[in-house]
């Protein structure tokens, strides 16, 4: 009887997988053979490894029977595995929220709290860790430390009870949305220390500008020679990393054999990680937005992903309303995973990735947040310390779109931003269902901007 039930289950799973593949527009391919063993409860790995709660359930469903399931599982769990490793290494600093997302332990962020609300919080045992008013954004952000012995979850709930009209949330951590990068002989993701190259004091009025919120970049890499670069964060220290360097090169890099999407542009790069255990916290991202808005950089690339957050939502809304364009990677958690942010916020330009055959990356997220597709695989980008690496993921598609949008924008205004986006839409190559669709958005742009993968093999 058990054998009959197992056979019936396999048939149902195969039919459901074929239907899902047709509905979500994945590249055609042979479905993997469903084994007679390894079903739930047998102890054989069959879903997304290490994914907690609802996140694990959603991603596990997305992986079932779609394309090369082993490869998809590997690609879509990399971010989660890095998060799990970080929490294991720093359990006193980082934990998970109720949905499994990483947060700074014992910290709650308050958006524009009143003095009376802060007085009630202090009376309840909370202390103020950081209190800053971001002038360019016009918002006050207070980070509160929970009383000793009170969990972060209960601390958030208590603050919301003390101030029902206020806006409070966890201090979420946002991670790089890359799926993969490989560099021969270089396993380090970051290289703390070093000196910051003297940034150009003045960027010419005719020079297009683009912003980057990411990890640090290696400004001494040859692709950044003669590129105007302004850096922010880490108290002036240089903390270059693989991810930030790669994304930055795809924005403004230029060399004899390499060029980004805005090779004549200036880069304003904010490091929100600084090799710190709690790098990528939402309050650091807000500080980066404030700096870029203050500098008047019209297009901002964010190849970071995470959960919805009340503080981030407030800031993104204000930035977009003022005419700045935020371009964000949609993420690589799989075709049926919940939307990731900031890409999924209204007004943000969400970008997915395609391979050399113009097929959407099998790990890329799908949904209404997808506005454009760009090359996101089978290409090279700058790597540490001076080499190139093969890169893959929506992280590396986003800067191609950001650079294209920045080519025609001198200053942030709502009218100019709308015009630039509409112009890009008119030039998009429709790849999926006719018109806007949840897999490719309006279509492919920057098809000719993918740097040759052969560069990653050159020494």
Place of tokens 């950081």: 130
> If the chain, 459 residues long, is cut into consecutive pieces of 10 residues, what is the mean pLDDT of each piece?
43 39 33 28 28 37 49 70 92 97 98 98 98 98 97 98 98 84 40 47 75 97 95 93 97 95 96 96 98 98 97 98 98 93 98 97 96 97 94 97 96 97 97 94 97 82
CA distance 377 to 447: 11
pLDDT for 27 equals 35
Q: Which residues are bridge partners to 380 per DSSP?
A: 390
What are 258's strand-pairing partners? 255
Amino acid 279: pLDDT: 96
Neighbours of 33 (CB within 10 A): 8
pLDDT at 76: 61
- In order of their start, the domains of the chain are 2-89 (no CATH), 102-172 (3.30.70.240), 175-457 (3.40.50.200)
User: What is the value of pTM for the model shown?
Assistant: 0.82
Q: What is the C-alpha separation between 307 and 283, in angstroms, rounded?
A: 14
Cα 130 to its chain centre, rounded Å, is: 25
Q: Measured in whole angstroms, how far is the alpha carbon of residue 218 from the centre of its chain?
A: 19
138 CB-near residues (< 8 Å, 6+ apart): 318
pLDDT, position 457: 77
- How far apart, in whole angstroms, are the C-alpha atoms of residue 42 and residue 164? 47
Q: Would you put residue 104 in left (φ > 0), alpha (ψ -120 to 50) or beta?
A: beta
> Residues 413, 205: contact at Cβ < 8 Å?
no
Q: What is the pLDDT of residue 246?
A: 97
**Cα distance between residue 191 and residue 401, in whole Å:** 28
């Amino acid at each position: 009887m058990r054998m009959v039930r197992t056979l019936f289950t396999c048939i149902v799973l195969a039919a459901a997988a074929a239907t899902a593949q047709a509905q979500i527009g994945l590249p055609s391919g042979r479905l993997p053979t469903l084994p007679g063993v390894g079903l739930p409860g047998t102890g054989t790995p069959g879903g997304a490894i290490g994914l907690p709660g609802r996140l694990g359930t959603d991603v596990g469903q997305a992986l079932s029977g779609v394309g090369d399931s082993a490869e998809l599982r590997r690609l879509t769990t990399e971010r989660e595995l890095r998060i799990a490793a970080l929490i294991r290494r720093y359990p006193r600093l980082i934990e998970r929220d109720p949905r499994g997302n990483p947060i700074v332990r014992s910290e709650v962020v308050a958006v524009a709290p009143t003095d009376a609300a802060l007085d009630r919080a202090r009376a309840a045992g909370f202390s103020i860790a950081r209190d800053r008013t971001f002038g360019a954004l016009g918002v006050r952000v207070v980070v509160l430390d929970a009383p000793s012995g009170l969990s972060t979850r209960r601390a958030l709930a208590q603050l919301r009870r003390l101030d029902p009209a206020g806006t409070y949330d966890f201090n979420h951590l946002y991670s790089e949305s890359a799926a993969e990068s490989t560099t021969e002989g270089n396993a380090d993701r970051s290289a703390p220390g070093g000196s910051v190259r003297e940034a150009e004091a003045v960027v010419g009025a005719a020079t297009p500008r683009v912003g980057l919120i990411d990890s640090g970049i290696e400004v001494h890499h040859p692709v950044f020679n003669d590129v105007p670069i302004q850096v922010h964060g880490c108290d002036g220290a240089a903390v270059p990393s693989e991810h930030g360097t790669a994304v930055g090169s795809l924005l403004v890099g230029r060399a004899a054999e390499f060029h980004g999407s805005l090779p004549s542009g200036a880069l304003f790069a904010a490091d929100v990680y600084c090799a710190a255990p709690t790098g990528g916290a939402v309050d650091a991202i807000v500080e980066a937005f404030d700096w870029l808005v203050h500098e008047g950089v019209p297009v901002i690339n964010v190849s970071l992903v995470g959960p919805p957050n009340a503080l981030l939502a407030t800031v993104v809304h204000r930035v977009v309303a003022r005419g700045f364009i935020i371009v964000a990677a949609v993420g690589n958690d799989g075709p049926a995973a919940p939307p990731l942010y900031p890409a999924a916020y209204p007004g943000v330009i969400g970008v997915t990735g395609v391979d050399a055959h113009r097929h959407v990356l099998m790990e890329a997220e799908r949904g209404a947040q997808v506005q454009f597709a760009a090359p996101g695989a089978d290409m090279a980008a700058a790597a540490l310390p001076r080499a190139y690496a093969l890169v893959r993921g929506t992280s590396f598609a986003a800067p191609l779109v950001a650079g294209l949008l920045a080519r025609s924008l001198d200053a942030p205004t709502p009218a100019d931003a709308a015009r630039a986006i509409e112009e890009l839409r008119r030039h998009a190559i429709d790849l999926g269902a006719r018109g806007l669709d949840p897999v490719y958005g309006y279509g492919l742009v920057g098809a000719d901007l993918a740097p040759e993968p052969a560069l990653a093999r050159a020494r």
